[in-house]
Amino acid sequence: MLDKQSTGLLAFWRDYDRKTYVKAAVLADRLGYDSFWLPEVWGYEVFSLLTEIALKTKRIKIGTGIINVFSRSPALIAMQAATLDEISGGRFILGIGTSAKNVVEGLHGRDFEKPLTQTRDVIRVVRTLLDGRPLSEADTKLRRYRPFTLDFEPTRRHIPIYVAALKQKSITSVGEMADGWMPIFWPYNRLSDGLPGSPKVLRKRAAARKRSRPRLSPPSSRSPERVLRKKRGRSSPSTLAAWATTTNSSSAALATRMNATKSPGSTRTRRRARWRPMR
């Protein structure tokens, strides 16, 4: 049976309709789902859409799934995250990733250089500004900043940051610096292979961050389209998304997401999973 309180909904990254997903977010909020996520590629700008959703919902968490770390400056990402977190009443989750060279350079005109270092610098800048410290204290590696601080008090000093990662060094960075792992295209049946480091290293990092080792629970299935179509009495859509969480004594949680894309008469399935310690 679906546990709505631990299930999030994710829009597919191509050709999604703004009005449809705003309606889906409002309905998901009313039905008690945990979170609603929107991606950003070369269509809608995601912070504007999430602001619209935040103003029309009451309790559901909202997240970027994902934004790239190159097209906006690290400080702008921090400012947008803090602004949306205030507008939503502390419901925002920041999902980031490197995207790809052809998108970063071909669409945004930015150099796709040192993506892992850029990701780590973005996390450092966001954490520093939200914490009220001067930006010059962020200990960034690619650039040095002047001692700017945010000119308003953030709703939360700690906004959860999730990172999309596939390579081992990137996954390790997630365990060291971020709150959650978003392994897009990661085989679901090999999820344990991708947890940040070996079990021994994972336990060590979790202990250092005062969290217990997360555990995996059986996943649940829902997508925004499916929620709307079920409400209208229609058949299920072709894209299914599933997330599930399980909490332990230190409020850590393991969330999994499976995207199953099936064409008529086909049983081919693509699955994804991600780990996130809950606050």
* Model pLDDT, residue 274: 39
Is the pLDDT reported for residue 279 higher than 50? no
pLDDT digits (tens, 9 = 90+) for 215-247: 322 223 345 655 566 665 543 322 223 333 322
Domains in the chain: how many in total? 1
Q: Say which residue, 129 or 180, is predicted with more confidence.
A: 129
- Residue 255 within any structural domain of the chain: no
- Residue 19 within any structural domain of the chain: yes
- Residue 105 within any structural domain of the chain: yes
d(CA 207, CA 277): 13
The pairs formed by 55-58 with CB atoms below 8 angstroms and a separation of 24 or more are 55/87, 56/22, 56/25, 56/26, 57/25, 57/26, 57/29, 58/29
Domain that holds residue 170: 4-187
- Residue 240 within any structural domain of the chain: no
Is the pLDDT reported for residue 96 higher than 50? yes
- Beta strands 61-64 and 239-244 are unpaired
Among the residue ranges 7-16, 66-75, 136-145, 188-197, the one predicted with the least confidence is: 188-197
Q: Say which residue, 150 or 5, is predicted with more confidence.
A: 150
- Residue 257 within any structural domain of the chain: no
- Residue 261 within any structural domain of the chain: no
**In CATH, what number is assigned to the domain containing residue 79?**
3.20.20.30
pLDDT digits (tens, 9 = 90+) for 155-206: 999 999 999 988 878 888 777 899 888 877 777 777 777 665 544 444 555 5
User: What is the residue-averaged pLDDT of the chain?
Assistant: 76
